[in-house]
Structure formats: C-alpha cells, structure tokens
Amino acid sequence: MISDFAEFGVEANEPNPDRPDTDGGNWVDELLLGATAGDSAPAVHLGESLDRAALRREVDAHRAVLAGAGLGPGGSVALQLPPSLPLITGMLAAWRLGAQVILLDHRLTGHETGRALGRVAPQFVVRPAGPVRQGSLRGYHVVDAVVDPYPDGRPAATGHALVQLSSGSTGPSKVIGRTAAELAEEVRRYTCIEGMPGPGDRVVVLNSLIHAMGLMAGLLHSLHAGIEIVLPERATADGILDAVAARSAPTVIMGVPFHAQLLGSVSAPPPLPQLVRAITAGELARPGVAETFAARYGVPLGEVYGMTEMGVIATDLSGEHRPAAGWPAPGIGVKVVDGQLLVRRATNPYLGLSDPDRWSDGWLRTRDAARIDPDTGLLTILGRLDSQVSVGGLKVDLTEVEWALSGLPGVREAVVVHDGAIEAYAVLDDGVTAAAVEGLLAERVAGFKRPRRIHAVTALPRTTTGKPVRDPAALRAAPERA
C-alpha cells in the first residue's frame, strides 16, 4: 500500500470483499470528481468538451435515473455500453450510489451476453436505447442509455465495487472483482509513476474503457489528476492525429501496440509539438514498432505491463529497456518462482469457480515467464509459460519464434501456436509470399523451432481489447489471403 485512503472513504489496508456494501460512494466524489483542477477545467472530450462541473451534473442526472430504477447501496448493475458519455457517467453514478458495477463489452453476441449475465446475475442492465452503429474505427458513440431489470438478478454478493471479465485471449474469461480500496490505490499509484500525464495535460485514449489500461490509467487516473480525457471521433491514423492536434496542451496517446504500428505507418505526419509521449499496454510491441514510432514523432513509446486482476504491475514509460516490462510500480511486490512471475495480492480476485492454483497465500500466479535483475530490479517478461512446448523432446519457446517471425521484412504481424505441431499465422505485405517468409525465417531460427506452415491471413482475430487470439480453432477460421 502506498497511501492511507481513509480520506477517500475507503480502507485500503483492510479490503473486505465479503462485505456486500461496495464501500459506499464517497471515494468517487473525493478521488475522481473533486474540483481540485477547477470547475472550468476540461474533463472529457467526446465530440464536444465537458468541463468538470458539467461532468458532475451529468453524473448527478445519471445517478437519479439509476436510483429511480431501484438501484441503491449494495446493489448491482451491468453496463453494456459502447465507449460513450453514458458509459462514463453511468459507471461513476452507480459507484456514487454504493452499487457494484459489472462491465460488459457492447460487442458481445447475444449468446455471449446471455452467458456472461448468467454468471454475474446483476439486478439491472444498462444498454443503448437503440442499435449501435458498429465499426472498429469509431472512437466513441453518441447513445442514449436505458435501464432494464434483469430477471433473477440479485444484489452484490460481495463488497467488490468493480467486476470485470478477463479478455479471454488465452482461455475462457474469468470473473474478476476489485474493491473500491483497490481501485483507489491504483489510481494513486499512477500518480507516483514518472512520465505519466499530470494536471493540465490531455490524454487521447484508444484503449477499451472497460478494461485495465483504458479504465484505470485512461479514465480514472485522468479524472483524479485533472487530465482532459479525449476519445477521437475515428480511431484511424488521421483521426488520432487530429485529436492530438486539436489543442496545444501537452498530450499523451494511450493505446495498444497496433495503434503505434498504425501511426508509425504514416510516412510524413504533421508537426505535433504538443505530443509528448505514447504509451502502449496489452501486449509487447513487435520488433521495430517503437523505433519507427520514435523516428516519426520524436517521442518515446513507453510500455505498461499489467493484468485485469491487478491493474498496473510494471512500467517503462521511457521505452529504453524493451523488451523488458520495466520496474515494478510503486507498492507492487513481485518475485519469480520456477521461472514464473508472482505478484503480491492480499485477497483472491476471482469470483465463482476459479483455478485454485492461480492465487494462494497472498500471491497471484501470472503464468508469465519472467526474470528480475538482482542488481537493478528490472523486470523482463519472457512470454506466457504455456508458450513453451516440447517438439521431439526439445523445448521450444513459441514467443521467441513469434518475435523472430514478426521482425522479418514484409511481416506486419504474426501469431505462433502449437496445434499438434508449430503453426504460424501472419499478415503479410502485398507481394510478399509465405514461401518467401519461410525462407527468411530459416536463416534465423533452428529447424526444430520453425513452424510447419506459415498461413498468410487477411487479419488476425483479436479479443475485444485488441489482443491477438491464440486459440488454434479461431486462428484456423481466420480468412486466408488469396
């Protein structure tokens, strides 16, 4: 713990997820909606700018709607909204009521939504009033929200203020709970990380607002620190650069490595003196992406390593130590046991059925291979432990092969999996053939490590947070390039 959070109405040293009152809502007013930055300071910009006073009025209005529907202290509500003002205000309003907030991705199919709601059983579900115009290139949506009771829904069974479903990039989604104390602690933790944006800055958020980086660093930390939150109208290269250029205040871009690669593909970007940094999370940037981005824009591409269960774990916002994850964030305890990274966490984050080997004795097993420099404390993530397979009795690290393949000229992105044998799926530049890539890879990777086949696909399947899916069945279903 890095601070005493009693001033925010929560007790970080004694989180009690079994107490079904979600710690009340005082922490929202004090930590996130306070007027320390001034009522007239910009708060959020989604097509139009709202200052902090206007944002509080919107939250008050949304709170009245939720309370009128019957939501109160200890209640539970699922928000299934696209990135929008009602998503932000609904989340804050429900927390101010002392309710538990469950975040569901608006892009889930009806079957997926039904299965998720069956697992969490909220009292209410907040959805868009009408159809949402889909499209991965939209940065935000303008929607009206409706509150519907959920049949057989129940109040919060625990004191977790936030319930999320993990991204499911490496297996079935897990139901994860975090208390108000834990959220407050992470918000304050970000303020102690050198290189994070601060009061008066702007942050262009490209991450999902319902998952770790976009929610905690992009939204909640920005509200706390007096940073303007900007969602671009379009998540294209031009749309992102237009959002940066809209104001002269120091601006940081937050996204996933895909966004850095997209911006790096712009051969002659306009001068952007206000751009001071870009930060990626969710996965390691492929070789060359950071260097190309820095050359184009003259600013570093930093990285954040974290988990839904913990939030931020380690950072290297200078981008100087890649592919290392950086140094553990303030207050984070880590150790490596048998090659696996363990992170100290006081309580079990999982709700319902979970793998008993994932958390025990105050330590969360990340299932990431890692090493810690004994002299400097620098933490390096070496890939998923389940990426290490045996081929003919020889150990192969699929992450190593994937990095080698991704670094080849003509390869835009790639995923390597073990599906009875090593298989690779890659998006290639026009005119580049899989056979040519196989020839280049043979010069860099030993024969027993090489994929049996490189499948050239039009696009890699991704989770809702932008991570490449590594499920062999989903990859086999990806459309192959003609």
pLDDT value at position 89?
A: 98
pLDDT tens-place values along the chain, 482 residues long? 233 333 333 333 334 454 444 556 789 999 999 866 688 999 999 999 999 999 999 999 999 999 999 999 999 999 999 999 999 999 999 999 999 999 998 888 888 889 899 999 999 999 999 888 766 688 999 999 999 999 989 999 999 999 998 755 444 578 999 999 999 999 999 999 999 999 999 999 999 999 999 999 999 999 999 999 999 999 999 999 999 999 999 999 999 998 999 999 999 999 999 999 999 998 778 778 999 999 999 999 999 999 999 999 999 999 888 767 789 999 999 999 999 999 999 999 999 755 677 898 899 999 898 999 999 999 998 877 877 787 766 678 788 898 889 889 999 999 999 888 899 999 999 999 999 999 999 988 888 889 999 999 999 998 766 778 888 899 999 988 87
Per-residue pLDDT at 115? 87
pLDDT score for 451 = 94
pLDDT score recorded for residue 15: 41
What per-residue confidence (pLDDT) applies to 315?
Answer: 95
Q: What is the pLDDT of residue 23?
A: 55
pLDDT given for residue 14 in this prediction: 38
Give the Cα-Cα-Cα angle 25, 29, 34 (nearest 5 degrees). 170
- What's the predicted TM-score (pTM) here? 0.82
Smallest Cα–Cα separation from 474: which of 456, 462, 458? 462
b/e per residue 97-111 (b: at least 16 CB within 10 A): bbbbbbbbbbebeee
- Identify the pLDDT of residue 36: 66
Q: Cα separation of 351 and 308, whole Å? A: 13
Decide: 194 and 300 in contact? Cβ < 8 Å.
Answer: no
Predicted local distance difference test score (pLDDT) of residue 11:
37
Nearest to 470 by CA among 380, 367, 352, 319: 367
Instruction: Render pLDDT for 10-55 as a digit per residue (tens, 0 to 9).
Output: 333 334 454 444 556 789 999 999 866 688 999 999 999 999 999 9
How many Cα atoms are found within 13 Å in the side-chain-facing hemisphere of 458? 6
Domains of the chain, start order: 6-33+47-169 (3.40.50.980), 183-380 (3.40.50.12780), 392-476 (3.30.300.30)
Q: What is the CA radius of gyration of the chain?
A: 22
Residue 127, token pair as written in the block: 């959805």
pLDDT tens digits, one per residue of 436-462: 999 999 988 888 889 999 999 999 998
